[in-house]
Amino acid sequence: MTTGTRLQDKVAIITGAAKGIGAATAHMFVREGAAVGLFDKDSEALKATAEELLKKGARVVALPGDVTSAGDISKFVETVVKELGGVNILVNNAGVTLTRPFVETTVDDVDFLVSVNLKGLMLFSQAAIPHMEKAGGGAIVHDASNAGIVGRPWQPMYGATKAGVVSLTKSMALSLAKQNIRVNCICPGSIDTPMLRGALASSGQFEQNWRRTELVIPLGRIGAANDIAAATLFLASDEAQYITGVALPVDGGRTAGVAEVHHLGLDVS
């Protein structure tokens, strides 16, 4: 059951939609009237999210797949268009992270990050854009990271791929403006997702690392998935019809001016 009309009669594709930010975005879009196409490699979690939305009366297409596979993407987009009627919005949320010192980073690490964070984003955008053109325009929202704005000494190659997303956002916005397709990106900070919790727990010091992370966020808390979903909703909606080419930090003020530090080494005793 919808509670708003900000995306009424819109069809939105969301990648990485099974959990975390992607799932929160799907729920928020449905509440605002959108039909949604959900794509994720985690088939079980994707099915669960789709079932939750269907129970609310949403129009949903959900297919598991790999964002680096042009075949998977083509099949998915064709199914969305056939069953839901087109594509108005694309949220490129799927992404991977890596915490590893620069001197220890391998070629395989780089291939993995670039393949998902940049190649996947490119392939999905290329598949969706023709359908947006047929609809008279649309909105693309990429999920980048504040690591694409400032350096992170513990995630150098991850940050490099997200800086690539920021740059690509601006270039796409310029090249697609005449087609009335707006392109923006969100730059999240530390957000409470399974990905973040796994990273903070990897050293066996989850509680300390959680507190360390909070200490370097000016607003004093780790963000919620809905914080990112709300920003994505705004950029995808007609309320942002004069906004394109923007990289919007949603990070509690972390990139407002204070340099990044390796906070996981902070003494929080």
Give 165-173 contacts, CB < 8 A, sequence gap 24+.
Answer: 165/117, 165/118, 165/121, 166/247, 168/118, 168/121, 168/122, 168/142, 169/142, 169/144, 169/245, 169/246, 169/247, 170/245, 170/247, 172/125, 172/140, 173/244, 173/245, 173/246
Residue type, 96: V
pLDDT number for residue 259: 56
In three-state secondary structure terms, 266 is coil
Residue 61 phi/psi, 5° resolution? -120, 125
From the first residue on, what is the mean pLDDT of each consecutive set of 10 residues in the chain (269 residues)? 83 97 98 98 98 97 98 98 98 94 96 98 98 98 96 92 98 98 97 88 87 90 97 98 98 81 65
pLDDT number for residue 204: 85
- Cα(108)–Cα(264) distance, rounded to whole angstroms? 25
pLDDT number for residue 1: 44
Could you tell me the sign of the dihedral formed by the alpha carbons of 231, 59, 17, 175, in that order?
negative
> Would you name the residues annotated as active-site residues?
158
pLDDT number for residue 263: 63
pLDDT number for residue 264: 64
- The domains of the chain are located at 11-191+223-257
pLDDT number for residue 154: 85
The CATH code belonging to domain 11-191+223-257 is 3.40.50.720
Question: Per the confidence metrics, is the pTM higher than 0.85?
Answer: yes
